[in-house]
Chain A
Amino acid sequence: MEFMYATQEQFDRLVDFKGAREYHLSKSRVKKDKRMSLGEAIDRFVQDGDILAETGFSYVRSPIQAYFEIIRQGKKNMVSIGSPMSNTSYLMTANCVYAIHLSYIGVEMRGNDKNFARNIKTKKAEILSIWSHGSMALGFKAAQLGAPFIGSKQLLGSDMLKYNPYVKVIENPVGLDKSEPVVIIPALFPDVCIIHVQKADRYGNAVIEGPAINDIALAAACRKVIITAEKIVPEMSIRELGNACIPFWYVDAVVELPYGALPGCCPGCYYWAREWWEWLVRIGTPKEENVQDVMRYWIYETKDQFEFIEKLGGIRFINHATRLMEAAQANIDDSLVSFDYQEVIPKWD
């Protein structure tokens, strides 16, 4: 394979089952207090050249504040993977990510991510392989299951097969119909993921409320795992409910990071900063200089999530976002809040 930026070793490492196993075997088993600051966690466990897996669902329980810290620390030469992976385009603009394994980068009904399109068109970043959400999810799941690969029925007949050197179509050797085509999807082992959760204890046992997307599989698959948590809770409170979905021995660092998913939403905690996203999509992304402006104001000139909240409107914003989430989850009566917001911000492009 010829790449513009990525190395062959980076490309191969994603499917290096033995390498990932060796790495996991080498990790400390000590059940110790792994709490540290976000800055320290990113500094120690996200390295230049890593394959970074996006977690959450675009802007739902995604560790966006941690991505901002990656940008502030100026990590570089990383490869990004995830389904979906809508935060990657900003990591490209900031020169943190130079190559991706693409499943989806966009903003759903708000359209294409012009920033992503520009980064690919201007060859600031390259696409290494192309996936659907489900096929990539199966790659992570295979890794969690300890299965070298999974045979599946998606991707067949699509042009993605031509742009995905990792997968292979074979005739099902164990099916009733031995001529039936199936796609072999290898177990995928990214280097590092940051998973934002509602609750974790100091050792890394973590509880996810709402959709887990790929995060349970990714916690097992990735060589390094950083947990950012809305709240650090006593270990016993997790033991009582027995509902942790990530065990402490997968976890390298635990960061207490309330509001760590902002400006995205966090189930059980707060709703999106919707105007922020509308602004980003309609005004922030059409031009490179606008993206740079957005990043300067919201990332480089913002120290942490608390300063970010101040810029969003402070306690008033948080109070409203919290109430909206309570109503969205039917924990309070819908009639107590209004979901109206200014959704039509004039377009600039």
Chain B
Amino acid sequence: MSKVAPANPLEMLAYNISLMIEDNQIVYIGTGLPMVGAILAKKTHAPNITMVYESGGQDPLEGEMPWSVGCPFTYRKSPMTLEMAISFGQCAIGYVDIAFQGGAQIDMYGNVNTSVIGSYENLKAILPGSGGGNDIGSLTQKSVLVGLQTPDRFPAKVDFITTPGYLDGGDSREKAGLLGGPIAVVTQVGIYDFEPVTKRMRIKALNPGMSVEIAQACTGFELLVPEGEVPFIEPPRDEVLEILRNEVDPRRVFTKMPGS
């Protein structure tokens, strides 16, 4: 028997984020769990990735978990920092491979809302706004959406498109003139991709213990299910969990379950 406790849902989420990253990529990092996932990837299967940040930090030395996107750990002994306009510009001109984005709502075509619940005319809740989310999601070759999956947070249509995914599906993203696009959605339930023709969200693989029924029950629209058996994600190996717990997020800021 393993002495290492199995991954909790947030740790599994961080692990799944790390799996999206391939070695040698340039990775655009936001705050929160994507940062945990990226640092985990760097400390495990992708040691040669280069991290860049919207506040301008480029390729910092490793250190503590940054307290903010503007934290000194995002430009720790960076060879240089870039102004914000230029930092986003490198996503557009093809120098960034992958980026991550969270949101209050993610819909069936991968559109993301970080602006408002309801509408600005009829407010239910006001959220912080785009920040760099729209820029990253509009310009980067591959983006990965990260969210806690519930029917409210995964509606058929977001209340407000802050960051476009595949808009109305099909070729509507391309027609709008956008670059790149979302390749996956990572949640505590599993990993989704987008069906190539309709661009609708589709189950790719599920976390251990999950099922198609659970995934569907956590979603406000009909998920596409791949043909044949739905694969399950291998749980992280003990060594990976230990790196996550001891080196990546030792103070458990992002991977501690509320109330535990």
- A→B interface (CB under 8 Å): 56-60, 83-84, 102-106, 108-109, 112-113, 116-117, 120-121, 127, 130-135, 137-138, 140-141, 152-160, 163, 169, 180-182, 210-214, 216-217, 265, 267, 271-272, 274, 325, 328-330, 334, 339-340, 343
A330 and B85 within 8 A (CB)? no
B67 and A211 within 8 A (CB)? no
A328 and B73 within 8 A (CB)? yes
**Option from B76, B167, B253 in Cβ contact (under 8 Å) with A330:** B76
The winner among B63, B71, B92, B177 for most chain A CB atoms within 10 A is B177
B63 and A330 within 8 A (CB)? yes
B130 and A57 within 8 A (CB)? no
A108 and B64 within 8 A (CB)? no
**Option from B70, B132, B164, B179 in Cβ contact (under 8 Å) with A211:** B70
Assess whether B237 is interfacial by the CB under 8 Å rule. Answer: no
**Option from A112, A132, A272, A328 in Cβ contact (under 8 Å) with B133:** A132
A67 to B88 Cα, complex, angstroms: 28
- The 5 listed contacts between A and B (C-beta, < 8 Å) are A141-B83, A153-B179, A156-B178, A157-B173, A158-B138
Binds A, one of B8-16, B18-26, B42-50, B120-128: B120-128
**Option from B31, B76, B83 in Cβ contact (under 8 Å) with A212:** B83
Assess whether B1 is interfacial by the CB under 8 Å rule. Answer: no
B167 and A159 within 8 A (CB)? no
Closest residue of chain A to B92, judged by CB?
A: A153
Number of interface residues of B (CB under 8 A): 58
A214 and B162 within 8 A (CB)? no
Assess whether B221 is interfacial by the CB under 8 Å rule. Answer: no
Q: A103-B129, A132-B135 are in contact. Are A329 and B76 (CB under 8 A)?
A: yes
Closest residue of chain B to A118, judged by CB?
A: B126
State the Cβ distance, B245 to closest chain A Cβ, in Å.
16
A328 and B130 within 8 A (CB)? no
B72 and A265 within 8 A (CB)? yes
Q: A134-B132, A153-B177, A212-B81 are in contact. Are A158 and B161 (CB under 8 A)?
A: yes
A51 to B130 Cα, complex, angstroms: 21
A213 and B83 within 8 A (CB)? yes
